[in-house]
């Protein structure tokens, strides 16, 4: 089977333009998912590319895109309002073709997605790849207050060794969210690296979980 083509694109927003890349199925997509990158990587990070390819083969269109600071070649993430404004503009453009897309991303990208949904953006669901529940080494600084205002389904994909989400804190948070589901990757770290397992194996597990989540929430 040939991997679906990757189509480069750009998105205009109030601060300029950012790059994006679509993974589109050969047939009409049954859903669309936006995946934003984490703080230390851009849209071409291997995990997002691999998941985009895997989901496109299953009939889900996946869009990866850059935040402004990455587009401009800077290392330090933009202030949160700027990140949210960019994500919202990209999501609105996608929603013109795919009403109520799924939103998400890796670490910071998923957190920003959750904030725009908490702020009223209509999404079919949220997919978190390593949600940064708290800063590493500071489990008392929980970032979950806004999640309680979200009524869209949420899928947390989290490594059991993720220093940004201690298991006991994560389980407590998910248990308090009526629309949340947790899928743990045993022995996985924040980047989903698992000793004794290949990246391809872990990517398949992540893609399977996302596919199941999307399939249960689309016609």
pLDDT per residue over 25-45, tens digit each? 999 999 999 999 999 999 999
Please check the confidence at residue 3 and state whether its pLDDT lies above 70.
no
Q: Is residue 1 part of a domain?
A: no
3-state secondary structure 81-106: HHHHHHHHHHHHHHHCCCCCCEEEEE
Per-chain mean pLDDT for the chain: 95
Domain CATH number, residue 174? 3.40.50.1820
Domain count, the chain: 1
The values of phi and psi at residue 23, to 5°, are -105, 110
**Residue 4 pLDDT exceeds 90:** no
Residue 1's pLDDT band (cuts 50, 70, 90): very low
| Residue 119 in domain | yes
What range does the domain containing 162 cover?
6-215
């Amino acid at each position: 089977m040939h991997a679906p083509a990757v189509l480069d694109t750009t998105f205009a927003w109030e601060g300029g333009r950012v790059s994006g890349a679509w993974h589109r199925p050969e047939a009409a997509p049954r859903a669309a998912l936006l995946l934003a990158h984490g703080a230390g990587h851009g849209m071409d990070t291997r995990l997002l590319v691999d998941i985009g390819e895997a989901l496109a083969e299953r009939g889900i269109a996946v869009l990866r895109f850059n935040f402004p600071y990455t587009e401009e070649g800077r290392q330090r993430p933009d202030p949160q309002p700027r990140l949210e404004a960019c994500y919202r503009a990209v999501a609105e453009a996608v929603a013109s073709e795919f009403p109520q897309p799924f939103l998400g991303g890796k670490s910071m990208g998923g957190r920003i997605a959750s904030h725009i949904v908490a702020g009223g953006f209509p999404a079919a669901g949220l997919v978190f790849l390593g949600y940064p529940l708290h800063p590493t080494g500071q489990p008392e600084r929980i970032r979950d207050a806004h999640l309680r205002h979200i009524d869209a389904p949420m899928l947390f994909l989290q490594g059991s060794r993720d220093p940004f989400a201690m298991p006991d804190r994560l389980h407590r948070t998910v248990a308090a969210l009526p629309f949340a589901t947790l899928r743990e990757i045993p022995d996985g770290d924040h980047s989903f690296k698992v000793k004794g397992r290949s990246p391809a194996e872990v990517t398949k597990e992540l893609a399977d979980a996302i596919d199941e989540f999307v399939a249960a929430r689309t016609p």
